């Protein structure tokens, strides 16, 4: 067992090793910038899939076929994420959290920048599509551990009694990335179509180089987490964290996957599928590629505040209770939300996006930030968080736009597809909360899983 000692710290309610306030600030900043880059990449790729990539890379397939093919490349990135989670989860539990955060940010940033240099179908035929899929896989491998690393890092540094608050702060970076991505596309969407599809679509991808430089600079100055330092000190670092996880934590991995279905799935529905739904030829606002990104921009501003609010609330009343009622709200909201979208009122569309993303999704994401790391023992925590997040991301995130686009095409763009999809995913998370142990304030130095 891991032997721990209680030492006086410079953070009043922190147990275990000494954590300087400066270390906590750096960890929060490093995690936030990484989250911003990941979700900037996530949203510019998702928006590009919904609005631009079809005619650019899959032109011969026709409008509906090109859209489905475009969303398929989006899904490929998610399919790669569990493999990234396994590889980098192993590295994070075996050699430390900091190393992984440097590797993943480099991979994701390189892939995004390179997408901005790709030749289109008109320029190089299918070569552009092949390279797009390849870079999307690289993106997915890096993203498969980025959020797990950020979540694990900040949770292991934060004071236990305020872990929900601090662990949710890096996820403000998600909203920053969303604001940057959606804002960029809202601006370039105002350009002439020939200019947009000619060269302007490349700018958001090439601009990611700025975030890469900032993130690498900050992460080079990070210290290793106190929990991993304690594992090394007492020689409790395991050689095969994946094997240990599968032996001891299968139940908690399944819990993590179930919890993520409502949050991650609805995030994808509102941020990609809904935008495609309202803008395609048969949509509510046919051919209007401006309304969706602007709605996403507004929703992200509210979500940046709400994710921290719900994270802090989980410190006061418990992770499970906040999560349960958040999932229930998302389920109840699903049918009226997507019906309202069909009424053709722009303000109503934006209101639905704000409520769905800022209240529905964030009420699950806020408590999820500390809850996932708290589910697992310290020896394989990184791997546990990574696999829980990324296996669920394949089904709830990656396949949602692809499957949803196919159903929308088959049903003549029926809003019921979105409503039922959102409802089912939210109910999966709601039911999962009844099998989830309460973890608020748990000692993360423990080798044991939460039970």
Distance CA 58, CA 75 (A): 15
The answer as to whether 12 is a domain residue is: no
d(CA 124, CA 377): 50
Check: CB of residue 142 under 8 Å from CB of residue 105.
yes
Q: Report the distance separating Cα 22 and Cα 357, nearest Å.
A: 32
- Position 11 in a domain: no
Number of domains, the chain: 1
Q: Is the pLDDT of residue 369 over 80?
A: yes
More reliable by pLDDT, 88 or 9 = 88
**Residue 152 in this model has a pLDDT that exceeds 60:** yes
Placement of tokens 């275990």 in the chain: 16
Range of the domain at 377: 21-435
Are 337 and 392 within 8 A, CB to CB? Answer: no
Residue 398's CATH number = 1.20.1250.20
Token pair, residue 442, equals 């748990």
pLDDT of residue 3 exceeding 80, the answer is no
Compute the distance between CA of residue 233 and CA of residue 317 in angstroms, rounded to an integer: 35
What does the alpha-carbon distance between residue 409 and residue 15 come to, in Å, rounded to a whole number? 55
User: Is residue 158 situated within a structural domain?
Assistant: yes
User: Could you read off the pLDDT of 194-244 as tens digits, one per residue?
Assistant: 777 778 888 888 888 887 788 788 888 778 888 988 988 988 898 899 899
- How large a percentage of the chain has pLDDT more than 70? 92
**Residue 366 predicted with pLDDT over 90:** yes
H or E, element range at 148? helix 126-157
Q: Residue 173 in contact with residue 31, Cβ under 8 Å?
A: yes
Let me know if residue 321 belongs to a domain: yes
138 lies in some domain: yes
Q: What does pTM read for this prediction?
A: 0.81
Confirm whether 268 is domain-assigned: yes
């Amino acid at each position: 067992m891991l032997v721990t000692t209680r030492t006086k710290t410079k953070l009043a309610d922190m147990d275990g090793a000494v954590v300087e306030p400066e270390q906590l600030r750096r960890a929060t900043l490093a995690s936030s910038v990484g989250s911003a880059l990941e979700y900037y990449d996530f949203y510019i790729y998702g928006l590009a899939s919904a609005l631009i990539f079809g005619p650019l890379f899959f032109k011969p397939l026709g409008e509906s076929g090109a859209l489905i093919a475009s969303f398929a490349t989006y899904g490929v990135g998610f399919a790669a994420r569990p493999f990234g989670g396994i590889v980098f989860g192993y590295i994070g539990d075996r050699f430390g959290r900091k190393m992984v955060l440097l590797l993943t940010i480099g991979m994701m940033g390189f892939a995004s920048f390179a997408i901005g240099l790709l030749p289109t179908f008109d320029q190089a035929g299918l070569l552009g599509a092949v390279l797009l899929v390849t870079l999307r896989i690289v993106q997915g491998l890096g993203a498969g551990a980025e959020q797990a690393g950020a979540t694990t890092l900040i949770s292991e540094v934060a004071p236990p009694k305020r872990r929900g608050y601090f662990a949710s702060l890096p996820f403000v970076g998600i909203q920053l990335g969303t604001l940057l991505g959606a804002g960029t596309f809202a601006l370039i969407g105002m350009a002439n179509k020939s200019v947009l599809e000619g060269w302007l679509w490349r700018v958001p991808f090439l601009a990611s180089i700025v975030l890469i430089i900032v993130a690498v600079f900050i992460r080079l100055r990070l210290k290793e987490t106190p929990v991993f330092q304690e594992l090394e000190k007492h020689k409790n670092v395991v050689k095969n964290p994946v094997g240990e996880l599968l032996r001891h934590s299968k139940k908690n991995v399944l819990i993590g996957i179930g919890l993520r279905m409502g949050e991650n799935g609805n995030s994808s529905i509102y941020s990609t599928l809904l935008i495609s739904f309202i803008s395609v030829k048969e949509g509510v606002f046919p051919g209007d590629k401006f309304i969706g990104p602007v709605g996403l921009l507004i929703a992200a501003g509210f979500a940046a505040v709400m994710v921290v609010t719900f994270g802090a609330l989980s410190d006061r009343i418990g992770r499970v209770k906040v999560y349960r009622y958040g999932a229930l709200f998302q389920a109840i909201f699903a049918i009226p939300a997507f019906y309202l979208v069909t009424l053709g009122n722009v303000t109503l569309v934006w209101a639905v996006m704000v409520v769905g993303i800022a209240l529905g999704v964030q009420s699950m994401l806020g408590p999820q930030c500390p809850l996932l790391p708290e589910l697992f023992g310290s020896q394989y925590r990184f791997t546990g968080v990574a696999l829980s997040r990324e296996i669920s991301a394949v089904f709830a995130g990656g396949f949602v736009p692809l499957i949803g686009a196919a159903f929308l095409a088959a049903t003549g763009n029926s809003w019921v597809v979105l409503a039922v999809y959102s409802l089912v995913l939210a109910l999966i998370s709601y039911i999962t909360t009844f099998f989830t142990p309460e973890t608020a304030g748990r000692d993360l130095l423990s080798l044991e899983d939460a039970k």
